[in-house]
């Protein structure tokens, strides 16, 4: 992949489907709803699904569902031929009004700004998924989760596998486990995607580290190790998991193949970065070998992705100003 030079080229690159994504859409015919589409991955997922449908010559549609608090975000979808529906998924009435669909991608939830709001965490990450699972009880559901549901592991472990302990610290991390249990207990056919960390050239762990290192700000290394993956590859794995939906859920880790140190990442982006803190012996790390074995290795590896981020930033590419807080170790955000 050549480094995109515009937002439009970025969207095109990040929505390029893989053969596994195409096969998934072909295997699961019918209309598709993407719930919580207004977040950071929603546009690329909808675009990739649409490209799969178009290539197959399908008459089925993908529809983006969100509260749409930002009119410009909604326009990004509609201008690209993706119909939208405004819906508050916490409202039983509005949820009931959504059209039926045999295929659901669930991207909704909250994370940042919730450290002092356990009620919001419970409503958005537990109660609302329960309602969605009941509303679409007959559908195939792919629900986005997080690698934060695992316990912290040492870097030489190779990362947590799908059957590893899920005893996460912090209210946010525990609410994500509650979201998974909501789908599991519902009996719905579901695939649970434990993702960390997706990198769009405008945001993600690499952008966080590069921005700090290049500005001469200390890079926090208390969480000294990380996995990450190009958003186009992460999106393709999410789509590829659709035919695997089952009860109990099919669980899939999605990330890159390598574990990198935060110090090495920072050094890639700046000649003499400075650091703060000391590395803890553990981090949130995932083993994604199952995803790679089932659906193919990521098309863009970690080194290439770092080069793309560096080039994007060198060319003054847009950033979203949405830090990942990768350095947090307490599971609260």
pLDDT 10s digits, 128-166: 999 999 999 999 999 999 998 999 999 999 999 999 989
- Where does 26-157 show beta strands of DSSP type E? 32-35, 62-66, 84-86, 103-106, 140-146
Alpha carbon distance 241, 106 (integer Å): 12
pLDDT at 116 over 60: yes
CB 151 within 8 A of CB 166: yes
CA-CA-CA-CA torsion for 261, 263, 264, 270, nearest 10 degrees?
150
User: 189 near 183, Cβ under 8 Å?
Assistant: no
- The pLDDT of residue 165 is 86
Q: Give Cα 41 to chain centroid, integer Å.
A: 6
Is residue 332 very low, low, confident or very high in pLDDT (cuts 50, 70, 90)?
confident
What single DSSP character describes residue 61?
-
Give the pLDDT score at 125.
Answer: 86
Looking at residue 115, its pLDDT comes to 59
Distance CA 318, CA 320 (A): 7
Query: Which three-class secondary structure string do you get for 301-325?
Result: CHHHHHHHHHHHHHCCCCCCCCCCC
Q: 261 exposed, middle or buried (CB, 10 Å; 0-12, 13-18, 19+)?
A: middle
- Report whether pLDDT(114) > 80: no
- Domains of the chain are 7-201+230-257+286-301 (3.40.50.720)
Whether 317 and 271 have beta carbons less than 8 Å apart is answered as no
Core vs surface per residue 142-163: b (16+ CB within 10 A) or e: bbbbbbbbbebbebeeebbbbe
Instruction: Let me know: does 34 contact 45? Beta carbons within 8 Å.
Output: yes
Alpha helices in 187-269 (DSSP H): 205-214, 231-240, 262-269
Q: Is the per-residue pLDDT at 127 higher than 60? A: yes
Mean confidence (pLDDT) of the chain: 94
pLDDT at residue 110 tops 90: no
- Dist CA 187 CA 184 (whole Å): 6
CA distance 163 to 321: 34
* Torsion sign (Cα): 24, 26, 29, 32: positive
At CA 287, angle to CA 229 and CA 44, rounded to 5? 30
Q: What is the pLDDT of residue 273?
A: 97
What's the pLDDT tens digit per position in 303-314?
999 999 999 999
CB atoms within 10 A of CB 178: 18
pLDDT in tens, 279-291: 999 999 999 999 9
Are 109 and 177 within 8 A, CB to CB?
no
Residue 223 CB burial class (10 angstroms; 0-12, 13-18, ≥19): buried
| E-assigned strand segments in the chain | 32-35, 62-66, 84-86, 103-106, 140-146, 189-195, 198-199, 219-220, 225-226, 229-230, 250-254, 260-261, 275-276
pTM: 0.96
Closest CA to 309 of 274, 276, 260: 260
């Amino acid at each position: 992949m050549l480094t995109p030079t515009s937002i439009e080229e970025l969207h095109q690159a990040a929505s390029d489907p893989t053969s596994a994504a195409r096969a998934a859409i072909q295997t699961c015919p019918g209309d598709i709803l993407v719930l919580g589409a207004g977040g950071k991955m929603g546009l690329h997922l909808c675009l990739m699904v649409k490209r799969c449908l178009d290539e197959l010559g399908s008459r089925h549609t993908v529809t983006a569902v969100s509260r749409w608090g930002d009119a410009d975000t909604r326009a990004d979808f509609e201008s690209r031929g993706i119909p939208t529906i405004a819906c508050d998924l916490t409202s039983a009435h509005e949820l009931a009004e959504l059209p039926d669909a045999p295929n659901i991608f669930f991207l909704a939830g909250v994370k940042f700004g919730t450290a002092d709001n356990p009620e919001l965490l419970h409503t958005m990450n537990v109660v609302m998924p329960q309602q969605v699972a009941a509303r679409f009880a007959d559908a195939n559901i792919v629900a986005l989760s997080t690698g934060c549901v695992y316990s912290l592991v040492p870097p030489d472990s190779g990362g947590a596998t799908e059957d590893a302990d899920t005893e996460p610290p912090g209210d946010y991390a525990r609410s994500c486990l509650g979201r998974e249990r909501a789908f599991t207990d519902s009996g719905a056919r579901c695939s649970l995607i434990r993702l960390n960390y997706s990198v769009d050239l405008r945001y993600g762990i690499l952008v966080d580290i590069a921005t700090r290192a290049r500005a001469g700000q200390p890079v926090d290394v208390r969480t000294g190790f990380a996995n990450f993956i190009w958003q186009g590859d992460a999106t393709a794995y999410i789509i590829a998991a659709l035919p695997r939906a089952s009860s109990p859920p099919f669980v899939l880790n999605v990330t890159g193949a390598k574990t990198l140190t935060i110090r090495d990442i920072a050094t890639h982006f700046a000649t003499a970065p400075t650091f703060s803190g000391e590395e803890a012996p553990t981090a949130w790390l995932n083993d994604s070998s199952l995803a790679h074995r089932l659906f193919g290795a990521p098309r863009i590896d970690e080194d290439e992705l770092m080069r793309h981020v560096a080039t994007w930033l060198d060319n003054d590419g847009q950033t979203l100003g949405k830090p990942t807080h990768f350095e947090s170790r307490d599971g609260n955000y």
